[in-house]
């Protein structure tokens, strides 16, 4: 007679081992309330916002900011990569060419070290989900996120931020563009950190630009003729 070489069935043993004990079954419905019971006796802490504002984490995803180079030129080159990377379609960028033609001759001036700059830059905070993908897509570190988070408003239109609202304020040593690049520097020199502030030539250029914009335009020949005719009629 052949002997059985297989292991004896231990299904009964498994059922006895896996079955919970009497007290475990009794306390199972109450175990889910453990966190609630602990919280009931914990002291409630009230944050007095907005009088007291807690500091945010260093890498907090708050409102965006368009950064500048140390001489004041904008880092944005109008490439529109941030707009393409945005999953919520919250960014609108329209680039334009920098123009080194003198302003007196009809030039528009230079706003960035690159060939182009962001002429129009909008972020719709009704759509933005603060994911930070636009920051990762930016090749020049022109766009970063600040720690500012108070964006509530009574108007939906006011939650569409324009370029002048997103631009970083001028720090010490900066000159508001348009103005030329630092003499002898190329675009790559700006990103290598070789520019540490505005030069005397850039300051003089900006000062002259402000003076020209403050002076009233000279009347044209036709305007002068009309004035002479009106004086003669009197």
The annotated binding site for [4Fe-4S] cluster is made up of 76, 79, 82, 86, 128, 131, 134, 138
Gap between the Cα atoms of 219 and 234, Å rounded: 21
What are the b/e assignments for 106-121, b being 16+ CB within 10 Å? eeebbbbbbebbbeeb
Cite the annotated binding site by residue number.
76, 79, 82, 86, 128, 131, 134, 138
Gap between the Cα atoms of 69 and 72, Å rounded: 5
161: phi then psi, degrees, rounded to nearest 5: -85, 135
The position carrying tokens 């260093």 is 58
Gap between the Cα atoms of 149 and 56, Å rounded: 9
Q: 177: closest CA among 77, 234, 108?
A: 108
């Amino acid at each position: 007679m052949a002997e059985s070489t297989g292991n004896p069935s231990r299904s009964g043993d498994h059922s006895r081992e896996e079955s919970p004990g009497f007290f475990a079954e009794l306390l199972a419905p109450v175990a889910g309330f453990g966190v609630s019971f602990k919280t009931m006796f914990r002291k409630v802490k009230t944050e007095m916002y907005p009088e007291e504002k807690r500091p945010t984490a260093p890498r907090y995803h708050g409102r965006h900011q368009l950064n500048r180079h140390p001489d004041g030129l904008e880092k944005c080159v109008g490439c529109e990569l941030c707009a393409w990377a945005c999953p919520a379609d919250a960014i609108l960028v329209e680039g334009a060419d920098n123009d080194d033609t003198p302003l007196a001759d009809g030039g528009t001036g230079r706003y960035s070290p690159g060939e182009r700059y962001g002429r129009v830059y909008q972020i719709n905070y009704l759509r933005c989900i603060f994911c930070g993908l636009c920051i990762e897509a930016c090749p020049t570190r022109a766009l970063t996120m600040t720690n500012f988070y108070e964006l509530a408003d009574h108007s939906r239109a006011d939650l569409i931020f324009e370029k002048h609202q997103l631009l970083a304020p001028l720090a010490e040593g900066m000159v508001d563009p348009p103005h030329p690049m630092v003499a002898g520097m190329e675009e790559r020199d700006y990103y290598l950190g070789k520019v540490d502030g505005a030069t005397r030539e850039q300051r003089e250029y900006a000062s002259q630009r402000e003076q020209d914009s403050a002076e009233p335009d000279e009347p044209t020949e036709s305007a002068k003729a009309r004035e002479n005719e009106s004086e003669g009629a009197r």
